[in-house]
Chains A and B, each alone.
Chain A
């Protein structure tokens, strides 16, 4: 007689808890999807990032649904919540570095100091960005070595982006003979550089004496070009300049050394040589 109502109310409670769980799960999935769609519409949207946040939102809501269902069942959830707090704190401390990589990854995706395909230097290593993931940035060097740099290193340090400015300046030093006419050498350098169609006429090629070096007068040539042409011009420019300098009769000197021959009758050095010879003969 008295058992039946309790069973019935218990059953009702179970059904209610089950309903909370199911609707909570549905809601979690639904909101997760909404979050993903919304984030994809944000500026600098990144599918990886959107999915990451969506799954966080989903799991938080799912957890809430489970807690709700347990609460309906009459389980005291405050103990569980304490455990969750402690567990979460411990995890946060353990994963501190990974978490800061994640945060840096989020920052990289929002502020975009580099994009996929950019040539960058991160933490002193140069490469072309292959992908920006939530924990790390993958790069490839020009000679095909894959480099994986933690995002914390990139966002917390120095990033050099070679691509993003579009225009680049190419600097190259040429050593001229001390006997050469500097004005003529400068003219040869600038006119030869200007002949390359990829080199900008404005600003025009520039050349000045940057150093009076040991054996050569060092003239630096500076030309502006598109980023895309920068590497090619760097490799292409030396040959025509060498030919033009030859045609103008300007020499590129070998290292020079003035040798002063000294005949000495007696000196420390000579005495030592003599002693060594005597030792060898003995």
Chain B
């Protein structure tokens, strides 16, 4: 009993206190850093939230989300700083954060590649919203270009989401950007028909279509192939990119009808049977 009392004499106690004092001060400073830092983190989170919600295309929930991300990122920094000040070796914590960063970096490799491609797409603009394009083998109207993806809607209204890396790394066909397009369609006529007459009919019918342009070239038609059962004449007309399909389909109908009227026939497949 008296042995214990030897250790709690006033002089001894002050000795302990003096030994502990720097630690206590450090812990106090650490706590101060923690409290002030947390307060700052909260404030900055709020500022981020407020500014984000002012941006036109960020809704309230997303702004809140961004705000809390900022807050927590700062909190991590504050905690590391406070812990270090309290005398706990933070290098292990930092090492873990480093490893985590490496893991996240590797995980986001693909996504970051998409971001880079997205920046390229926004800088070089191979297509813009509203263009009819073929990207990564998918055809459709560009609905949206964002930092990660390009969104198309196909003519039958399927939404196609293409990673920008895929889009920028593939062949992009833009059917709109040149303004005018050429409609090429082959029509097969009978081997016994008058080719000149057929060509004249095709050109006349094409020229009569209101959407067919005379520039850069008027309607053109020539024999492109002597096929198995037909003489194939290709019809080429220029039109505005938007009219492409209408012109093609309308001409199919009117050329067929004009052929019927003028005695030009579109033959069925022929086969010669040799009678031994």
Q: Answer yes or no: are A and B bound together in one complex.
A: yes
With contact pairs A259-B273, A262-B275 given, residues A158 and B161 touching in the complex (Cβ less than 8 Å): yes
**Residues of chain A contacted by B64 (CB below 8 angstroms):** 41-42
**Contact (A67, B88) CB under 8 Å given A43-B61, A169-B156, A211-B252:** yes
CA distance A261 to B272 in the complex (A): 6
Neighbouring A residues of B62 by C-beta, 8 Å: 43
Residue A99, interface by CB 8 Å? yes
Q: Could you tell me the distance between the alpha carbons of A256 and B110 in the complex, rounded to whole angstroms?
A: 53
Q: Give the residue of A35, A210, A262 whose beta carbon is less than 8 angstroms from that of B249.
A: A210
Q: Is the CB of A100 within 8 A of B107?
A: yes
Stretch of B93-101, B193-201, B216-224 with 4 or more beta carbons under 8 angstroms from chain A: B93-101
Q: Within 8 Å of chain A (Cβ to Cβ): is B238?
A: no
A149 CB–B CB distance under 8 Å = no
> Is B48 on the interface with A (CB-CB < 8 A)?
no
Question: B272 to A262, Cβ gap below 8 A?
Answer: yes
Flag the segment in B147-155, B174-182, B204-212 that touches A.
B147-155
Measured as residues with beta carbon below 8 angstroms from the partner, the interface class of chain B is: 35 or more
Closest partner residue, chain B, to A75 (CB atom) = B89
The answer to the question of B53 belonging to the interface, with a C-beta cut-off of 8 Å to chain A, is: no
Is B257's beta carbon under 8 Å from chain A? yes
Is B250 an interface residue, CB under 8 A from the partner? Answer: yes
A274 to B276, CA, bound (A): 9
Contact flags (1/0) for B154-172 with A, using CB distance below 8 Å? 1111111111011000000
Give complex CA distance A108, B4 in Å: 66
- A contacts, CB < 8 Å to B: 4-5, 8, 35, 38, 41-43, 60, 63-64, 67-68, 71-72, 76-78, 80-82, 84-85, 87-89, 91-93, 95-96, 99-100, 102-104, 107, 111, 113, 152, 155-162, 164-165, 167-171, 178, 182, 208-212, 214-215, 217, 255-264, 267, 269-270, 273-274
